[in-house]
């Protein structure tokens, strides 16, 4: 298949810092390419150069040397981390830009896409929207233009789980090439068919999604110097996680992962080094008391809308609780209420006397561009105090992958991801035995997320984490506090455990009545009469009916998991996804009916 875009021997520097050195690669039609690498490695710079100055509209969009060639007439849509709009632009006007001359004939598509992305009303001024809303409008404008090359920089930041799931399906069905920078590992696994890694100025290409990338990267690093032991340690931890996950149950895949894992472990200097720069240890802020944080009958409203009612919640020693839910449901409001920043409408919050909170909010503290990383993080203090004694701030920075050169670098020249790491380091240096983190992984690279995941897992205190990062929550969470259609409910276990047990969204049956949950069905059945002859026959055939329904559900899930389907049946993706959801509802409805009949027969 011919290339639609080629990069040949490209070099790019910022001052004395060489970001890209003799980089070459190609993008082909229908490629779905994930661009990954450390913060500051040059991912966004390469992306801007690939889409060209007409799209990126920045001075950094041209290489210092080398050649970037685009297919004649190639249509490109680019969504940067900070999208730009005309000063007087409305939501409807921005979407109309994407439609071009087809505005009138595709109004139905505008309505559907606006609903899927939860966009504000069309008359809303883009300048008045939040950062997350502006990004969704820019994403909608790009998607609706149906470009031959769609380039996205961190598309899932500030998206909730529902919208992210929808976006995965939409991008897999995109009739063109896709080039995206993202640190969302589940997203990469489900969308990307190829990974380009930017590493120390070089670029490496791997077939497959994130899991396959980790395997192939492990194989590459076994041939490299022992100086890469920190990176290999991270990869081995990722492989350990992949091996334990449900996606590694297939015998062939398990054998392949084990083989690469053994190759990594056998490499010189691969053994984990305790106290190594990649082993982040968090200041605990002292031991917790018997009471840590408790909510009793907590209720809160905002703007006249009730967000949660009668919430009872107790944090226990060692708890790492993930807070999840759609945007706007009240996650941050709950956190601020628990921390005493907002007065509850009803109920009380009890904070333990020994509880010391370290809070990272979504807005992040403003960094001073003229200060160095060391000055911003130290705030006049030379040491960070850990349980086993003090360490110098420079040593603490090395744990977050800021070497001495970065420690003395002015904030103003750092990338967005590096700035986020500085903000995280400022919070963590102060210490606390209850860490409250609101979207801590936004703009962090994969290596830093791995360091943070390990640090939180080993942390002696507790953590309350608001996040949309499913992989991150799967690795660190001991419980999930979920906002959904039933209210706010606590589930023991990680994010995958929550997904397996969350109640389905209610739907109506053929009689127009809500399909009951198992608990509701049992309550109704307790008051019902004995089975009729027809119901007895229905009960006799229920197990067989469920088996058939579950087999059909498995068939549909397998069908949608096949990457080739998005090439051969891309136009049917929306209908296939809807049919899958309907089949899940059918299975749940059959189980509920079975329990109802069983209870009635007793």
Task: For 35-64, write each residue's pLDDT tens digit.
Answer: 999 888 899 999 999 998 877 766 678 999
**Number of domains the chain contains:** 4
Task: Report the alpha-carbon distance of residue 438 to residue 485 in Å, rounded.
Answer: 22
Q: Verify that 261 and 378 share a domain, yes or no.
A: no
Q: Is the pLDDT of residue 388 over 50?
A: yes
In a domain, 488, yes or no: yes
Q: Is the pLDDT reported for residue 564 higher than 50?
A: yes
What average pLDDT does the chain have?
Answer: 83
Read off the CATH number of the domain in which 551 is found: 1.10.287.380
Q: Does 61 lie in the same domain as 38?
A: yes
Same-domain check for residues 439 and 451: yes
Which pair of structure tokens corresponds to residue 522? 């049992």
pLDDT of residue 258: 58
Q: What is the pLDDT of residues 308-324, one digit of tens each?
A: 999 999 999 999 999 99
Q: Does the predicted model carry a pTM greater than 0.75?
A: no
Q: Is the pLDDT of residue 245 over 80?
A: no
Residue 355 shares a structural domain with residue 218? no
Domain co-membership, 298 together with 393: yes
Among the listed ranges 140-154, 359-373, 456-470, which one has the minimum average pLDDT value?
359-373
Of the ranges 352-356, 515-519, 557-561, 569-573, the best mean pLDDT one: 352-356
Whether residue 464 sits in one domain with residue 356: yes
Say whether pLDDT at 212 is over 60.
yes
Would you state the structure tokens that stand for residue 72, as one six-digit string? 């004649």
- Asked if residues 543 and 593 have their Cβ atoms less than 8 Å apart, the reply is no
Domain boundary among 446, 472, 501: 501
Contact 148/30 with Cβ under 8 angstroms?
A: no
Residue 288 maps to a domain: no
Q: Does pLDDT of 361 surpass 50?
A: yes
Res 273: pLDDT: 28
Does the pLDDT value for residue 8 go beyond 80? yes
271, part of any domain: no
62 and 81 share one domain: yes
| HSE, side-chain direction, 13 A CA sphere, residue 85 | 27
Collapsed DSSP state (helix, strand, coil) of residue 36? strand
Report yes or no on 282 lying in a domain. Answer: no
Domain match, 19 and 72 both: yes
Mean pLDDT of all residues in 197-221: 91
Residues 229 and 134 in one domain: no
* pLDDT band at residue 511 using 50, 70 and 90 as cut-offs: very low
Percentage of the chain modeled with pLDDT above 90? 41
From 444, 468, 501, the end of a domain falls on: 501
> pLDDT tens digits, residue range 415-449?
777 888 888 888 888 889 999 998 888 878 888 88
More confident residue, 258 or 354: 354
Check residue 59 and give its pLDDT: 64
Alpha carbon distance 358, 167 (integer Å): 33
pLDDT of residue 529: 53
The predicted structure's pLDDT at residue 177: 96
Residue entry with tokens 């897992």: 457
- Could you write out the three-class secondary structure of 173-187? CCCCEEEEECCCHHH
Least confident of 226-240, 241-255, 286-300, 572-586: 241-255
Residue 368 has pLDDT above 50, yes or no: yes
HEC secondary structure over 445-460: CHHHHHHHHHHHHHCC
371 inside domain: yes
> Is residue 272 domain-resident?
no
For residues 282-303, average pLDDT: 90
CA 12, CA 42: separation in Å to the nearest integer? 9
Backbone angles phi, psi at 114, to 5 degrees: -60, -40
Last residue of a domain, one of 250, 266, 282: 266
**Whole domain around residue 327: which residue ranges?**
293-501
pLDDT of res. 268 = 39
Answer yes or no: is 275 within a domain: no
Spatial distance between the Cα atoms of 275 and 349, rounded to a whole number of angstroms: 38
Q: Are residues 187 and 226 located together in one domain of the fold?
A: no
Same structural domain, 259 and 334: no
Residues 347 and 441 placed together within one structural domain of the fold: yes
The per-residue b/e assignment along 351-370, b for 16 or more CB within 10 angstroms, e otherwise, is: bbeebbbbbbbbebeebeee
The reply to whether 231 falls in a domain is: yes
* pLDDT for the residue 165: 85
Q: What angle do CA 222, 225, 229 make, to 5 degrees?
A: 75
CATH of the domain at 305: 3.40.50.300
């Amino acid at each position: 298949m011919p290339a639609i875009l080629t990069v040949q021997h490209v070099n790019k520097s910022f001052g004395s810092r060489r970001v890209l050195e003799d980089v070459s690669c190609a993008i082909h039609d229908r490629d779905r390419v994930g661009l990954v690498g450390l913060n500051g490695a040059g991912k966004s710079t390469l992306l801007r150069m690939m889409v060209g100055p007409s799209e990126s509209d920045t001075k950094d969009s041209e290489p210092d040397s080398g050649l970037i060639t685009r297919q004649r007439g190639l249509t490109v849509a680019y969504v940067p981390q900070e999208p730009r709009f005309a000063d007087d632009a409305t939501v409807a006007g921005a979407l109309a830009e994407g439609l071009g001359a087809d505005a009138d004939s595709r109004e139905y598509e505008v309505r559907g896409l606006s609903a899927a992305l939860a966009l504000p009303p069309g008359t809303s001024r883009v300048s008045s929207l939040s950062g997350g809303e502006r990004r969704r409008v820019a994403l909608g404008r790009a998607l609706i233009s149906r470009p031959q090359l769609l380039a996205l920089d961190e598309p899932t930041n500030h998206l909730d789980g529902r919208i992210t799931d929808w976006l995965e399906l939409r991008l897999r069905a995109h009739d063109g090439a896709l080039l995206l920078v993202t640190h969302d590992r589940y997203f990469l696994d489900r969308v990307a068919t190829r990974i380009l890694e930017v590493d120390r100025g070089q670029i490496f290409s791997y077939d497959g999604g994130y899991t396959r990338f980790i395997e192939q990267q492990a194989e590459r690093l076994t041939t490299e110097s022992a100086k890469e032991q920190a990176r290999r340690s991270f990869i081995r931890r990722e492989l350990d996680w992949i091996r334990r996950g449900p996606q590694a149950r297939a015998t062939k895949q398990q054998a392949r992962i084990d083989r690469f894992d053994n190759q990594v472990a056998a490499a010189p200097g691969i053994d984990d080094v305790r106290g190594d720069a990649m082993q982040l240890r968090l200041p605990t802020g002292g031991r917790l008391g018997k009471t840590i944080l408790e909510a009793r009958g907590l209720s809160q409203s905002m703007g006249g809308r009730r967000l949660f009612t009668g919430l009872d919640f107790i944090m226990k020693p060692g708890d790492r609780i993930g807070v999840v839910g759609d945007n706007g449901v009240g996650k941050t409001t709950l956190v601020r209420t628990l921390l005493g920043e907002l007065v509850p409408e009803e109920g009380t919050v009890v904070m333990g006397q020994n509880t010391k909170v370290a809070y990272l909010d979504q807005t992040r503290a403003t960094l001073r561009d003229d200060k160095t990383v060391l000055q911003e993080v130290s705030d006049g203090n030379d040491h960070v105090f850990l349980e086993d004694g003090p360490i110098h701030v420079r040593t603490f920075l090395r744990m977050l992958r800021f070497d001495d050169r970065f420690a003395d670098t002015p904030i103003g020249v750092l990338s967005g991801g590096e700035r986020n790491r500085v903000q995280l380091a400022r919070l963590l240096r102060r210490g606390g035995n209850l860490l409250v983190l609101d979207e801590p992984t936004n703009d962090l690279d994969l290596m830093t997320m791995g360091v943070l995941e390990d640090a939180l897992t080993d942390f002696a205190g507790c953590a309350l984490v608001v996040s949309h990062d499913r992989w991150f929550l799967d690795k660190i969470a001991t419980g999930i506090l979920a906002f959904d259609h039933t209210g706010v409910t606590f589930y023991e276990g990680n994010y995958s455990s929550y997904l397996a047990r969350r109640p389905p969204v209610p739907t109506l049956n053929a009689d127009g009545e809500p399909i009951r949950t198992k608990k509701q069905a049992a309550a109704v059945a307790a008051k019902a009469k004995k089975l009729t002859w027809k119901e007895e026959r229905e009960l006799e055939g229920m197990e067989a009916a469920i088996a058939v329904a579950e087999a059909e559900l498995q068939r549909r899930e397998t069908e949608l998991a096949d990457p080739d389907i998005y090439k051969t049946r891309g136009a049917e993706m929306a209908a296939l996804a809807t049919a899958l959801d309907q089949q899940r509802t059918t299975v749940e409805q059959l189980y509920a009916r079975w329990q109802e009949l069983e209870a009635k027969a007793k």
